[in-house]
Amino acid sequence: MIPVCSPLMNGNEEKYVLNAMRTNWISSSGKYIELFENEFAKYCGTDYGIAVTNGTNALHTALSALGIKKGDEVIIPNFTMIASANAVCYTGAKPIFVDAEPRTWNIDTNKIEEKITSRTKAIMPVHIFGHPCEMDKINELAEKYNLKVIEDAAEAHGAEYKGKRTGKLGDIACFSFFANKIITTGEGGMIITNNEDLAERCMSFKNMYFGKERNYVHEEIGFNYRISNLHSAIGLAQTEKAKEYVNLRIKNNNLYKEGLKGVEEIIFQKEEPWAKNVYWMNAIVLKGFNRDKLMNKLKEKGIETRLLFTGMNKQPCLKKFGGDMSGEYPITDWLTKNGLYLPSGSGLKAEEIKIVCNSLKKILSEK
Ligand SMILES: *Cc1c(COP(=O)(O)O)cnc(C)c1O
């Protein structure tokens, strides 16, 4: 079977984890946490990194540090993973949805302004599948309406917008290190920022809001989102290899594009000239061929694929939360109905991509 995404750990992971175990530092103290935070922040080009238990909790922590609360609204893309919306709901604020645009499938920056109200406090762009959002437009709107910008960069380690790394394109940014992400710790996440005050608030929220002096007086309802030294040990080793892993994702995408050149039924995510897409996933959209039929036929051939996201406006949990489910989201609907991921992990081999491309071409030609 060719899996949709398996992790690659070919650096110092084992060595560092063993060191953490043998020195007995297995919990939320130990040298690897700070080393990982510093190394990853440096990789992104920011001053501060705060590692937490996963990407969803990174978003919750960042939103909390920005003071987002009940009664507020946060603008998010309709086409994203549920975690982006959930994190907003955890604060009590309402997520407000904006449709994707048809080229990069990111939030349509021409449709944001019409969703801004007196309650809007922040915009959370998501760099979908590793393609950066159009950040200049988003930051202009943020300035005009005095909003905060939180990047959900869970899928976009190392991606660049006009030569600048994701993670320093807004006020604060969040990454995920889940097993299928470009850098992984098994489960893990990180918040990065250049703002010292925000970084301090994130540190406090992450750990019960103990504050600087551990005097058991708590100014806010904090969380326990502390990452372990064991996970951080893996994270440090992975970050040392970040450049290599990002290049592997890009190389895989090039191989797919070559292998599937001229196949009319397949649409790839477009890469804008100002963007460096890191291709977390090789997502495609079908034209004139049934998506479910293709996925079943690929499965028969031992090739694993996955559906793309269902829009936030179609999520029962967000409706129950009291979200505004009205409006039309035609691009999201198109992606949900016709899109899928192909195998995409960093460990994917060129021969495997060849098999996938040839199988795809064969199935599509048999219509
Ligand atoms: C993976 C992902 C997250 C959540 O990360 P976890 O580590 O799984 O909690 C958030 N947003 C997006 C866009 C993601 O793809």
Contact (CB, 8 A) for 50 and 191: yes
Count: domains in the chain: 2
Question: What CATH number is given to the structural domain containing 328?
Answer: 3.90.1150.10
What is the rounded average pLDDT of the residues 10-26? 97
pLDDT over threshold 80, residue 212: no
Regarding predicted confidence, which is higher, 293 or 212? 293
- Give a yes or no: residue 287 inside a domain: yes
Residue at a domain's end among 224, 240, 256: 240
Asked whether the predicted pLDDT for residue 213 surpasses 80, the reply is no
Does residue 55 line the site of ligand 1, with CB under 6 A? yes
Asked if the structure places residue 220 within a domain, the reply is yes
Q: How confident is the model at residue 214 (pLDDT cuts 50, 70, 90)?
A: confident
Asked if the structure places residue 3 within a domain, the reply is: no
Taking the CA atoms of 16, 21, 27 and 31 in sequence, report the sign of the dihedral they define.
Answer: negative
pLDDT of residue 325: 96
CA of 365 to the centre of ligand 1 (A): 36
pLDDT at 367 over 80: no
**Which ligand 1 atom minimizes the distance to the CA of 57?**
9
Domain boundary residue, one of 240, 259, 274: 240
- Are 34 and 138 in the same domain? yes
Give the Cα separation of 100 and 77 in Å (integer): 7
Asked whether 61 lines ligand 1 (CB < 6 A), one says: no
User: 53-71: per-residue pLDDT in tens?
Assistant: 999 999 999 999 999 999 9
Beta bridge partners, 268, equal 284
- What is the three-state SS of 296-317? HHHHHCCECCEECCCCHHHCHH
Instruction: With respect to residue 250, please indicate whether it lies within any of the assigned structural domains.
Output: yes
pLDDT of residue 181: 97
> Mean pLDDT over all residues of the chain?
97
Do residues 74 and 201 both lie within one domain?
Answer: yes
Residues 6+ apart with CB under 8 A from 362: none
128 lines ligand 1 (CB under 6 A): no
Residues ≥6 apart with Cβ < 8 Å to 55: 83, 152, 154, 174, 175, 176, 177, 178, 181, 189
Whole-number pLDDT of residue 211 = 72
Domain assignment present for residue 172? The answer is yes
Pick the last residue of a domain from 218, 240, 262: 240
Spacing, Cα 55 to ligand 1 middle (Å)? 5
- What's the CATH number where 231 sits? 3.40.640.10
Tokens describing residue 366:
């048999």
Give residue 157's pLDDT band: very low, low, confident or very high (50, 70, 90).
very high
Strands 148-152 vs 160-161: parallel, antiparallel or unpaired: unpaired
Residue 166 CB–ligand 1 contact under 6 Å: no
User: Using CA atoms, how far apart are residues 167 and 153, in angstroms rounded to an integer?
Assistant: 7
- Same domain? For 187 and 291 the reply is no
Which structural domain range is residue 191 located in?
Answer: 13-240
What's residue 134's pLDDT? 98
List, for residues 287-346, the tens digit of each pLDDT value: 999 999 999 999 999 999 999 999 999 999 999 999 999 999 999 999 999 999 999 999
Both 211 and 269 in one domain: the answer is no
Task: Tell which atom from ligand 1 comes closest to the C-alpha of 56.
Answer: 9
Please give the sequence-ordered ranges of beta strands (E in DSSP) within the chain, or none if there are none: 48-52, 73-77, 94-98, 120-123, 148-152, 160-161, 164-165, 172-176, 189-193, 266-268, 275-276, 282-286, 306-307, 339-342
Query: What percentage of residues in the chain have a pLDDT greater than 90?
Result: 97
Per residue in 217-244, pLDDT (tens digit) is 999 999 999 999 999 999 999 999 999 9
Q: Is the CB of 84 under 6 A from ligand 1?
A: yes
Tell me the per-residue pLDDT of 99-112, one tens digit each, with 9 for 90 and over: 999 999 999 999 99
**161 plus 279 within the same structural domain:** no
85 CB within 6 A, ligand 1: no
- Beta strand pairing call for 282-286 and 339-342: antiparallel
Minimum-distance ligand 1 atom for the alpha carbon of 187: 7
CB distance 152 to ligand 1 below 6 Å? yes
Give the span between the Cα atoms of 89 and 348, in whole angstroms. 36
Q: Indicate the SS3 state at residue 118.
A: coil
Question: Cα(62) to centroid of ligand 1, in Å?
Answer: 14
pLDDT for residue 103 = 98
Q: What is the pLDDT of residues 272-284, one digit of tens each?
A: 999 999 999 999 9
Render pLDDT for 121-147 as a digit per residue (tens, 0 to 9).
999 999 999 999 999 999 999 999 999
Whether 80 lines ligand 1, by a CB cut-off of 6 Å, is: yes
Per-residue pLDDT, 215: 82
Indicate if ligand 1 lies below 6 Å from the C-beta of 178. yes
Decide: 83 in ligand 1 pocket, CB within 6 A: yes
| C-alpha 83 to ligand 1 mean position (Å) | 6
Report residue 203 as tokens: 């540190």
